[in-house]
Structure 1
Amino acid sequence: MKYLPDVQTLEQGLNYLAQVIKWRMDYHFSSNGHKVPMPSSPDGWLTGETPLTRFIHKHQLNTAEQLTLLMALAPHLQPDFFDCLITANLPQAGDYPQIGGWRGKAHRGFLPTGETVLFMLGGNQFAERLRLQQLFSEEHLFARDRVLYLDSPTDGEPLMSGKLVMVPDYIDLFTQGHFSRPHFSINFPAQRITTEMEWEDLVLNAQTLQQIHDLKAWITYGPTILYDWNMKKKLKLGYRALFYGPPGTGKTLTASLLGKYTGKDVYKIDISMVVSKFIGETEKNLANLFARAESKDWILFFDEADALFGKRTNVRDAHDKYANQEVSYLLQRIENYDGLVILSSNFKSNIDEAFIRRFQSIIQFPMPNSKERLQLWQMAFPFQVKLAETVDLPKLSAGYELSGSDILNVIQYCCLQALQRGDATIYQEDLLHAIKRELSKAGKIM
């Protein structure tokens, strides 16, 4: 389910933060010693179903966490937000290091730092300021899910002087209603895959189809079990599945359909860009990949996964040692990923047993039998072509063991031949020639 951004909710959030900042400035700098409690959260601003309110409710953010989130988001909504509030409430011009802040090169307005957060929420209370620093620890949700962080300051400067930075993905989520889609690069070596096909186009045996529908059920209802039914403490986040079987039997199509019918983006990992001969580079590439995908609800599809998830070897030299370390790192990383990870392989036996034990679902995609092949043949021809009377699809289905992908290749070739002849008729001879051509690609003799 997608939650659209709501202008009113964002405005209410900024108004609440503005009240807190004004209160802190007045509390700290007022000459008359005016002391009143921090303003409480306004009624109604967290009642709507928007990306921001959904995030706050899902993670049960307390007041300090909500206000920190708003401070990181505020400059992206109103560039002069802090300048208007801070400058207007200072007793006189000058430097006030306790407020923190910095100014960028292109953006000339006040931008918050960790010191800004500590001052606005903790003032001069030493114990409270120390407690608030936990907001920026590696164990906190903000860092763990890469929501926001403090940029590392120059060597020797206080840690809290680091810039308060919200990750662009979450800026897009809170302001546009969706995570930004990453571009294919060395930092994210994966491409989004889609399909125009439907479930009806997927021809598989009944057992495989049932397992796929079970997997679809987890994608749909997993969050309910984890969060609404409070099973998060007992179950591991995420789900791990193995698709195995010969090429062309529907593994990639199934992954694409799962994304299409559950509203999830599916990213196919380019393993050639992940694996590196240099020690430590493979782990680094994987760390970047998983960090970007964390908490995005994306489906990660590792095609031909043997290169990454293959069996560990006996240690004979340093190369074997580090190769095994890569597998151990992968084992830990896919187990901690909070979304769906699908591994695809031609053979189940090629995958390390340590991964096999951690899969919640292992689905075989066998070569279609003659009945399924006939169904594939019948469904695959475009309606614009005509089959000659000599075409015998049942005979072709019974006589030639082809995958769904093979059959599509045959029909594509035959359609091209028909167009070159200037007609739209497919003949038995066309099909037999194309089948022979397809089998020869795999080193088979017709």
Structure 2
Amino acid sequence: MEQIFDTSNLVKSGSQANAAAIQTELIWFEQVLQLRSAINFGNVPAGTSIFDVQPPDLSAYPSKYAEFIAQNQLNFEERLLLFLAMVSQVKPQCLDIFLVQNSATGQIFTEFGGRKGNVFSGFLPTAETFLFIIAADDLALRFDLLRLFDAKHPLFVLDVLEYEPLPPGEPVSSIPLHINKNWFEEFTTGERSRPRFSTEFPAQLIETQMEPDDLVLPAHILDQLELIDAWLAHNETMMNEFALKRKLKPGFRALFFGQPGTGKSLAAALLGKKHGFPVYRIDLSRIVSKYIGETGKNLSKVFDAAENQQWILFFDEADALFGKRTNVSDARDRYANQETSYLLQRIEDHNGLVILASNFKQNIDQAFLRRFQSIVEFPIPQADQRLKLWKQSFSELTKLESKVNLNEIANKYELSGGVIINVVRYATLKMLKDEAAEIRQKDILEGIKIELKKSGRTM
């Protein structure tokens, strides 16, 4: 059967490239539906096949959708499956053909599959819809097509299509077909929106305007961070081009430990900033639930959303969940340990960078430590490092009182970078409040006193 794709009126470049590629794919999809209908009613010559309408060549379109199809070498069946999963959000009315009712039952034909949404009143496709379009009643072909719904198929491994486990007894053909929200955004707008903190996604995006020079750490610690940086830069090459995928587990796991304010969060944010990867912070001390099973559910949502997204997951206060294992004294303790083991397995299986942060290394269960590829200590800075932190923390637009001796302050007070920033904020606010011309020595010392008092120390 001859197919004609008139795309002369489609824009093939710029911001409309995604729409142009998807419009072309939609034309093909509608032709397939029309041919299936014609075959069913016997309106075409014998031997006519659904495969006579071949999918279009999208290589001329600089779009995310075309790029994905080319990179994954999707064939006829895979492209139809992908587009069927997203067409209800592109042109839902083209599926109205399946809303024809069986006059005997008053319902739509079972062979069409499909379902109704909670709000959406149109036709939502299922695996049966796909099988009907491609194979109709050809059992051999239907059985062969079921392989596309294996959880190991790239469309599901990459989370392009979301896989919903079926209740016991439900046929595989009743699997709902819907595309992952992130992939749909990428195919249509070219980029993915970032989720907001909520009960459904208990993680918060952290960003920084600081630069690598603002992270003041000993040279050997910076070397350790460079190893993580190297993994972010070269993981794909190492796993694919060097064929280590079958030998190494996916992902990279690191433990950052050190007192508050020593740069753990900043280091994570800078790694993300350098590579353009969003960093999501999960405060485990706030998420660990007193209700059995809730912690696992909450964190599973984060891992599910982050899969194949090139996100960096930063678990703060990690000892709240991954601390010394509870001695099993009752069913609750046993379940809590099982839940922790399950989440540790999710961390091990995650294919991105996971950073666990703790104030003290000894707080983390020793059995967990061997699972990390990198363990990085963030120490309290030495006197020379503290001096650098003091100098770079004050605004260049402010002046220091002549009696301020930062070298003396740096040597006398053992403070972390985070504490120094707090003192700078306090002294600057005092200057502004009092309409002073300079940042005063007394305000710096008062700020240090306040910060030391927080940790039970005195000057």
Evaluate the alpha carbon distance shift between residue 107 and residue 325 of structure 1 in structure 2; reply closer, same or farther with a 3 A threshold: closer
Residues 222-254 of structure 1 show CA distances to partners (whole Å, capped at 9, x for unaligned) of 123223444322221111111111110111011
Aligned to 1:175: 188
Corresponding position of 2:52: 39
Cα offset for 1:180?
2.8
Partner in structure 2 of residue 191 of structure 1: 204
- SS of the counterpart of 2:289? coil
The amino acid that maps onto 2:401 is A
Change (3 A) 1:379 1:80: same
Q: What is the CA–CA distance in structure 2 between the aligned matches of 1:363 and 1:58, rounded to whole Å?
A: 37
Q: Which residue of 1 aligns with 2:282?
A: 269
- The equivalent residue for 1:423 is 436
Tell me what 1:125 maps to: 138
Q: Find the partner of 1:337 among 332, 340, 350.
A: 350
| TM-score normalised by the chain length of structure 2 | 0.86
Kindly state the Cα deviation for residue 73 of structure 1 after the two structures are TM-superposed.
1.2
Which residue is equivalent to 2:30? 18
Consecutive unaligned residues of structure 2, counting only runs of 5 or more, are 1-13, 101-106
Q: Distance in 2 between matches of 1:170 and 1:436?
A: 52
Q: For 1:343 and 1:153, how far apart are their aligned partners in 2?
A: 34
Q: Alignment partner for residue 418 of structure 2, among 399, 405, 409?
A: 405
Q: Is the 8 A contact 1:264 1:297 kept in 2?
A: yes
User: 1:91 is matched with which residue?
Assistant: none
| Pick aligned residue for 2:333 from 310, 316, 320 | 320
Among 83, 88, 92, the residue aligned to 1:79: 92
Look up the equivalent residue of 1:342 and give its one-letter code. I
The answer on whether the counterparts of 2:381 and 2:415 sit within 8 Å (CA) in structure 1 is yes
Separation of aligned partners in 2, 1:85 and 1:313 = 56
Aligned CA RMSD, in angstroms, stands at: 2.9
Give the alignment's TM-score, normalised by structure 1: 0.89
Please say if 1:348 is aligned against 2:371: no
1:367 to 380, 402, 406: 380
Counterpart CA distance in 2 for 1:340 and 1:53 is 28
SS of residue in 2 equivalent to 1:383: coil
Deviation of 1:85 (Å) = 10
The offset of 1:186, in angstroms, is: 1.8
**Structure 1: gaps (5+ residues):** 88-93
Equivalence for 1:304: 317
Alpha-carbon shift at residue 204 of structure 1 (Å): 1.2
Q: Aligned in 2, Cα 1:413/1:181: closer, same or farther, shift over 3 Å?
A: same
Counterpart for residue 39 of structure 2? 27
Three-state SS of the structure 2 residue aligned to 1:127 is helix
2:394 is matched with which residue?
Answer: 381
Query: What CA distance in whole angstroms lies between the structure 1 residues aligned with 2:38 and 2:256?
Result: 62
C-alpha distance in structure 1 between counterparts of 2:322 and 2:44, whole Å? 68
CA contact (8 A) 1:152 1:159 kept: no
Q: Please report how far the alpha carbon of residue 63 of structure 1 lies from its aligned counterpart in structure 2 after TM superposition.
A: 3.2
Question: Residue by residue, what CA displacement relative to the aligned partner does 1:150-174 show, whole Å, maximum 9, x if unpaired?
Answer: 7688998755245422232222121
> 1-side partners of 2:194 and 2:174: how far apart?
31
- Work out the CA distance in 2 between the residues paired with 1:167 and 1:110: 18
Q: Deviations over 1:186-224 (max 9, x none)?
A: 221111111111112111111111222221221122123
Corresponding pairs, count: 439
**TM-aligned CA distance change 1:219 to 1:75, over 3 Å:** same
Partner of 2:375, secondary structure, is: strand
Structure 2 Cα separation of the partners of residues 298 and 166 of structure 1: 20
Would the aligned equivalents of 1:312 and 1:323 in 2 still touch at CA under 8 Å?
no
Counterpart code for 2:79: Q
- Contact conserved, 1:243 with 1:342, CA < 8 A, in 2? yes
Which shows bigger deviation, 369-378 or 65-74?
Answer: 65-74
2:84 aligned partner, one-letter code = M
CA distances 1:95-140 after superposition (whole Å, capped 9, x unpaired): 6442333455755544322211001122211122123233334444
Q: Report SS of the residue matched to 1:386.
A: coil
Alpha carbons of structure 1 residues 59 and 284: separation in structure 2 relative to 1, 3 Å: farther
- Bigger Cα displacement from structure 2, 69-78 vs 315-324: 315-324
1:209 aligns with 2:215: no
* Matched residue type, 1:20: V
1:358/1:86 Cα in 2 relative to 1: closer, same or farther (>3 Å)?
same
- Of the structure 1 ranges 152-161 and 59-68, higher mean CA displacement relative to structure 2 is found in 152-161
1-structure distance, mates of 2:182, 2:221: 36
Q: Distance in 1 between the 2:345 and 2:339 partners?
A: 10
Structure 1 residues 271 and 105, CA, compared in 2 at 3 Å: closer, same or farther? closer
Aligned to 2:104: none
Q: Which moved more, 1:9-18 or 1:340-349?
A: 9-18
* Residue identity matched to 2:282: I
Once the two structures are superposed, what CA deviation does each residue of 1:334-353 show, in whole Å capped at 9, x if it has no partner? 01111111110111222223
Between 353-362 and 52-61, the greater mean CA deviation after superposition = 52-61
Q: Give the 3 Å change call, closer, same or farther, for CA 381–144 of structure 1 in structure 2.
A: same
Aligned residue for 2:258? 245
Whole-angstrom CA distance in 2 between matches of 1:321 and 1:157:
33
Q: CA deviation at 1:423?
A: 1.4
Deviations 1:293-331 (A, max 9, x none): 212211110011001111224333333322221221122
Change (3 A) 1:144 1:283: farther
Is 1:384–1:424's contact at 8 Å kept on the other side of the alignment?
Answer: no
